[in-house]
């Protein structure tokens, strides 16, 4: 056994030899690896250098092609701008197309979130009843929390109905709306409506379409007037696509957004409205928003009922408006330490509690409106739903939700009309139409009362229902409702929000150019004074030698007592042979309605005074002595100033459309060494008004446009800036980062730029 377990011990020399071989092998491998690493580094460097050269060549080539494309596009845009009509039509079609797509996409977004929150995009009562009450109560609260966070962190503009913000942008910011509003408003409103918020989709669609139009205008660097037109085009496309109503969409933009039926750019608004309708019909179908039975006037006596219905609709419109903004005040009184998104969540929770018993208040409410139009609801449930919807909508908007109030106005109108129609039809079954007819008419009457836009209300109800036979009572009720509401409340449901913030749309943009000019600018020091005791013969001799047509009559104490005109003298010329020896100036002087002016009065006030009377000259009296005449103002001088200001604004607007803020500033040569130049407002000017600086007198230049970049409240990058083009007026306070577009001689411009 021993031999099996014995072994021969290997010599140590062999072990050393093997270990030496292993060591040499490791050294060789390490050297090889190091060499490979060096080679790979060299190879990577070579590849990097080669690839960098190739990339640089491609970058240079790409830059060249991009520059060529940019130049071609700029030239194409400039050529299109030169043909104004073609340019406007093309852009109107593009805005209508995008606005229609935005409206359709927004509707699908509402359906998505409706399915997500409730399992039904129509907020069907049967489906909602299957949801446990505690979950049903919380769904609007969750939606409100999400909406509040979007408002707080993304964009403040998406809060509320949306239409007041568009009106403010048109009136105060030349139509500039931040592009981010399009996406933020779409998601915020879709979540609010989809989660049960008691608001409509029409206001958000108007804001989305308007933001699309404004974004296109900003990209093309158009003038403020065209920008406002593009905003109105987007709004009309949105409304038309929503209701399948192109005529009503166009008139809504003109009557509500622009507030001016004389707008010369009406045709592009109509084009956008038509294109938006075509897009909507392609994706959704050519169907009216409401399927209405064929109603007609049963008896001529019904017209009296519709007249009374208009009175009631006006009162309900007023109560709706007041309830909305009183609820807003209640939420504003909640301690300021509570974040805004918690208030929105609280509002959603309250709406959810109401929805436990009355799920009809959730969402837009088209199902309930159709029930009222088909006379399928009892008057009791409609009466209760009037108050439930009124409170729910007020809570949703007052707490900071995102959604419109147009559809709630239709909703309330349908219910109010349904209740009244049920009562009248029960009392006079053979002389009245079914309750649905009264619901239809009151829908339009309530919209007319809340918006102060009767023409839009009449046409939108007509296009929504295709019910021409009911147009006469619809017109009566809408007009009466508007008259009642405007008597009770001057502001509409949209302008009220702005008025509460101190914004007056009529003067917000200095639309009346005469408000910035004063009496002292046009006052003439030459005038004629006549004593009261001047004989008639002497008076005739005096006026025949004068160039004036009006004369100021003073008494023995040099106190102004009246105005004498050539017409006053002509009236007594018929009996000159009888009265010539007895008359004095005081006998034929007009003593009544003596209106005087002061040097600091603005010319807008002066023009109103001229408009109320037949005088062509008005006396200017001293500030410290209202009986002392120091000058006179002629009507023709005021009109000349008006025409000059309009010319300046049109010129500034035209020049602004051709200037890109991102490009290098270049002088524009005019005539005889006169230039147009852009320059930064000197730091010493900041904090002063245009009137105080008196640049025309001190520096010999005229500021015809001011460009101001205003940072948003929620952003800090350059993309969050809003570019405002402002026509200068005397009270404008110069701010940092203002840019002047100045006209003057080159030497004067150089001197101003060095300040």
User: pLDDT, tens digit, for every residue of 263-272?
Assistant: 566 789 999 9
**CB atoms < 10 A from the CB of 557, how many?**
7
The model's confidence at residue 712, banded by pLDDT at 50, 70 and 90, is very low
pLDDT of 367 higher than 90: no
**CB atoms < 10 A from the CB of 655, how many?**
17
- Fold agreement (302-499, 659-753): no
Structural contact between residues 530 and 552, judged by C-beta atoms closer than 8 angstroms: yes
Give the pLDDT of residue 62: 54
**More reliable by pLDDT, 52 or 688:** 688
Locate all alpha helices (DSSP H) within 83-132, ordered by sequence: 84-118, 125-129
pLDDT of 251 higher than 70: yes
Q: How far apart are the first and last CA of the chain?
A: 116
The domain made up of 514-635 is a member of CATH 3.30.300.30: no
**CB atoms < 10 A from the CB of 322, how many?**
14
CATH T-level assignment (fold) for domain 302-499: Clc chloride channel (1.10.3080)
The model's confidence at residue 68, banded by pLDDT at 50, 70 and 90, is low
What are the distances in angstroms from CA 344 to CA 145, 419, 627?
6, 32, 61
Give the pLDDT of residue 510: 43
Give the pLDDT of residue 411: 94
pLDDT of 380 higher than 80: yes
Average pLDDT, the chain: 79
Buried b (16+ CB within 10 A) or exposed e, 114-145: beebbebbebbeeebeebeeeebbbbbbbbbb
Mean pLDDT over 62-66 rounds to 56
Which helix (H) or strand (E) segment holds residue 531: the answer is: strand 529-531
CATH T-level assignment (fold) for domain 84-283: Clc chloride channel (1.10.3080)
Q: Could you read off the pLDDT of 529-578 as tens digits, one per residue?
A: 888 888 877 888 888 888 777 888 888 788 888 888 777 777 777 666 66
Q: What are phi and psi of 335, to 5 degrees?
A: -45, 135
- Which token pair is 99? 């606005």
Tell me the percentage of the chain whose pLDDT exceeds 90: 22
Q: Bridge-partner residues for 512, per DSSP?
A: none
Q: Which residue reads 């009450």 in tokens? A: 133
Torsion of CA 445, 446, 447, 451, to 10 degrees: 110
CATH number of 659-753: 3.30.70.1450
Domain boundaries, the chain: 6-82, 84-283, 302-499, 514-635, 659-753
Buried b (16+ CB within 10 A) or exposed e, 345-379: bbbbbbbbbbbeebbbbbbbbbebbbbbbbbebeb
Residue 490: CB partners within 8 Å, gap ≥ 6? Answer: none
- Strand 550-554 versus strand 529-531 pairing type: parallel
Give the pLDDT of residue 508: 44
Rounded Cα gap, residues 243 and 360, in angstroms: 21
Q: Could you read off the pLDDT of 469-525 as tens digits, one per residue?
A: 788 899 999 999 999 999 998 888 888 887 776 666 654 444 456 766 788 888 888
- Please, how many CA atoms are within 13 Å of residue 163, restricted to the half-sphere of its CB? 30
What is this structure's pTM? 0.67
- Please, how many CA atoms are within 13 Å of residue 559, restricted to the half-sphere of its CB? 5
- Which token pair is 253? 């933009």
What are the distances in angstroms from CA 412 to CA 352, 388, 662?
19, 10, 50
pLDDT of 229 higher than 60: yes
Mean pLDDT over 582-596 rounds to 75
DSSP 621-687: E-SS-TT-EEEEEEHHHHHHHHHHHHHHHHHHHHHHHT--TTSPP--EE-STTEEEEEEEPPGGGTT
DSSP 359-405: GGGSSS-HHHHHHHHTT-S-HHHHHHHHHHHHHHHHHHHHTT-B-BS
Q: Which of 637, 643, 608 is nearest to 526 (CA)?
A: 637
Structural contact between residues 485 and 452, judged by C-beta atoms closer than 8 angstroms: yes
Q: What are phi and psi of 562, to 5 degrees?
A: 180, 180
- Strand 550-554 versus strand 560-565 pairing type: antiparallel
């Amino acid at each position: 056994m021993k031999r099996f377990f014995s072994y021969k011990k290997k010599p140590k020399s062999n072990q050393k030899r093997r270990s030496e071989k292993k060591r040499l092998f490791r050294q060789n491998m390490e050297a090889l690896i190091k060499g490979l690493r060096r080679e790979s580094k060299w190879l990577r460097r070579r590849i990097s250098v080669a690839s960098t050269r190739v990339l640089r060549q491609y970058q240079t080539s790409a830059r060249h092609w991009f520059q060529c494309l940019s130049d071609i596009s700029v030239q194409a845009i400039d050529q299109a701008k030169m043909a104004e009509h073609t340019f406007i039509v093309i852009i109107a079609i593009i805005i209508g197309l995008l606005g229609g797509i935005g409206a359709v996409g927004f509707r699908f977004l509402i359906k998505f979130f409706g399915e997500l929150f409730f399992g039904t995009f129509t907020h069907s009562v049967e489906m909602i009843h299957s949801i446990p009450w505690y979950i049903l109560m919380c769904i609007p609260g969750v939606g409100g929390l999400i909406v509040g966070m979007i408002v707080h962190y993304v964009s403040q503009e998406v809060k509320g109905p949306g239409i007041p913000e568009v009106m403010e942008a048109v009136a105060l910011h030349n139509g500039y709306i931040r592009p981010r509003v399009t996406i933020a408003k779409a998601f915020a409103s879709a979540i609010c409506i989809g989660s049960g918020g008691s608001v409509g989709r029409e206001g958000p669609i108007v804001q989305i379409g308007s933001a699309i139009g404004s974004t296109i205008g900003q990209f093309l660097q158009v003038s403020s007037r065209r920008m406002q037109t593009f905003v109105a085009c987007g709004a009309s496309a949105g409304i038309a696509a929503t209701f399948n109503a192109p005529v009503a969409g166009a008139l809504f933009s003109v009557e509500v957004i622009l507030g001016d039926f004389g707008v010369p750019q009406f045709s592009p608004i109509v084009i956008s409205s038509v294109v938006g309708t075509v897009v909507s019909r392609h994706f959704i179908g050519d169907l009216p928003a409401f399927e209405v039975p064929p109603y007609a006037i049963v008896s001529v006596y019904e017209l009296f009922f519709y007249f009374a219905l208009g009175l009631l609709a006006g009162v309900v419109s007023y109560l709706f408006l007041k309830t909305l903004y009183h609820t807003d005040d209640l939420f504003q009184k909640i301690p300021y330490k509570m974040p805004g998104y918690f208030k929105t969540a609280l509002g959603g929770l309250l709406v959810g509690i109401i929805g436990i018993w009355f799920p009809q208040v959730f969402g837009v409410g088209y199902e309930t409106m159709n029930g009222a139009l088909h006379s399928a609801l009892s008057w009791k449930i409609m009466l209760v739903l009037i108050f439930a919807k009124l409170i729910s909508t007020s809570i949703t908007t007052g707490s900071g939700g995102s959604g419109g109030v147009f559809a709630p106005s239709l909703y309330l109108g349908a219910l109010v009309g349904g209740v009244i129609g049920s009562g009248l039809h029960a009392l006079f079954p053979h002389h009245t139409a079914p309750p649905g007819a009264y619901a239809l008419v009151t829908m339009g009457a309530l919209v007319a009362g809340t918006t102060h836009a009767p023409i839009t209300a009449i046409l939108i109800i007509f296009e929504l229902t295709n019910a021409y036979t009911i147009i006469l009572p619809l017109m009566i009720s809408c007009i009466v409702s508007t008259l009642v509401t405007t008597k009770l409340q001057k502001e509409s449901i949209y302008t009220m929000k702005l008025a509460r913030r101190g914004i007056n749309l009529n003067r917000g943009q200095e639309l009346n150019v005469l408000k910035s000019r004063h009496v002292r600018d046009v006052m003439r020091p030459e005038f004629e004074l006549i004593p009261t005791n001047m004989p008639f013969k002497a008076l005739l001799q005096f006026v025949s030698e004068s160039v004036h047509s009006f004369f100021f009559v003073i008494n023995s104490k040099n106190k102004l007592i009246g105005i004498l005109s050539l017409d006053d003298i002509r009236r007594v010329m018929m009996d000159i042979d009888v009265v010539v020896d007895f008359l004095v100036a005081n006998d034929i002087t007009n003593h009544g309605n003596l209106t005087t002016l002061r040097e600091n009065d603005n010319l807008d006030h002066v023009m109103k005074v001229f408009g109320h009377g037949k005088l062509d000259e008005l006396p200017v009296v001293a500030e410290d002595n209202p009986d002392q005449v120091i000058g006179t103002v002629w009507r023709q001088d005021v009109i000349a100033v008006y025409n000059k200001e309009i010319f300046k604004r049109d010129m500034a607007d035209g020049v602004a459309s051709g200037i890109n803020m991102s490009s290098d500033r270049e002088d524009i040569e005019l005539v005889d060494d006169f230039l147009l130049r852009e320059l930064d407002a000197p730091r010493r000017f900041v904090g002063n008004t245009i009137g105080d600086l008196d640049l025309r007198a001190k520096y010999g230049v005229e500021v015809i446009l001011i460009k101001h970049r205003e940072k948003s409240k929620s952003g800090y990058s350059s993309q969050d800036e809003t570019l405002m083009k402002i026509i200068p007026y005397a009270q404008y306070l110069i701010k940092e980062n203002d840019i002047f577009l100045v006209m003057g001689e080159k030497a004067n411009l150089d001197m101003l730029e060095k300040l």
